[in-house]
Amino acid sequence: MKVLVVGPYPPTTDAAAERTLALVRSLTEAGDDAEVLAPRPGAAHHHAELQGLMGALGVARHAGRFGRIELVLEPSLFNRSWVGRPRRVLDRLALGAALRRWPEAVVHLDVERFPGAIGAFPSRFLWQAIDRFVVPAERDLVELRDRGGVPDGRIAVAAVQRPLREPSDIGWRFDGAPTRADVMTAVRARAAEERELAAVGAWAEPPQWPTTPTPGAAGKLPRRTLEDRLRPYGSVARRAIRRALAR
């Protein structure tokens, strides 16, 4: 089946991008034809501004080409925290309407990252448009059922397992922005290594992605650009910093 995965994706190097990459890997292993829609250009097949009404339209316009959408829902996606409450309500309703155009919608959700928003009316409207939920823990299932009004049969608990050691460096330490082929090579290489580790029961702490630049030919670290300095912050903070610097 053709599946559209929506979420942060490399070269973004945060936990959300890692979860999206792990989802693409599992879909590929299952034989699905997965493509990625990310909020910024990079290794994803498609990119769009996944905020507000434009983000909902970006999701809706792909509905005719895929059989299922899998959304890695993060607070930084489709959630314009800097606008007033009426606009935030409209954003949530627009996303719910967009997901209703899909034959099947699956959302991967960490409830603890959305405090106070699970049981609100706009969220309940959004939950009604979703066929299945995947949550990381049993407490998330209880919270989504009791406060969000989602039946147990539509919620699955899938704990994330990670390999003992860091997989081979193929595709994980890129020289510049990775291409789509680089990332798919990394997905397949990591999946093969994880199967080997799972066969001997070797599971432990997750691998750490490199966060420091490597020295250049002269032995000096390259000068950090503004984008390099802003990368650890969320999208809202980055916009606020850029606006302040532009004044």
The pLDDT, as a whole number, for residue 242 is 72
Tell me the residue type at 64. G
* CA atoms of 102 and 37, how far apart (whole Å): 15
> What are the CA-CA distances from residue 173 to residues 18, 181, 185, 191, 208 (Å)?
14, 14, 12, 17, 11
CA dihedral 73, 233, 178, 224 (to 10 degrees): 180
Q: Provide the residue ranges of all domains of the chain, joining segments of one domain with +.
A: 2-160, 216-247
Q: Tell me if the pTM is above 0.85.
A: no
2-160: CATH topology: Rossmann fold (3.40.50)
Q: What is the pLDDT of residues 80-94, one digit of tens each?
A: 778 888 888 888 888
Output 146-149 pairs: Cβ under 8 A, ≥24 positions apart.
Answer: 147/118, 147/119, 148/118, 148/119, 148/123, 148/124, 149/119, 149/124
Q: Is the pLDDT of residue 202 over 50?
A: no
Q: What is the pLDDT of residues 111-149, one digit of tens each?
A: 877 766 777 888 888 898 899 999 888 888 888 888 888
Per-residue confidence band for 166, with pLDDT thresholds at 50, 70 and 90: very low
Run of H or E residues at 53: helix 52-60
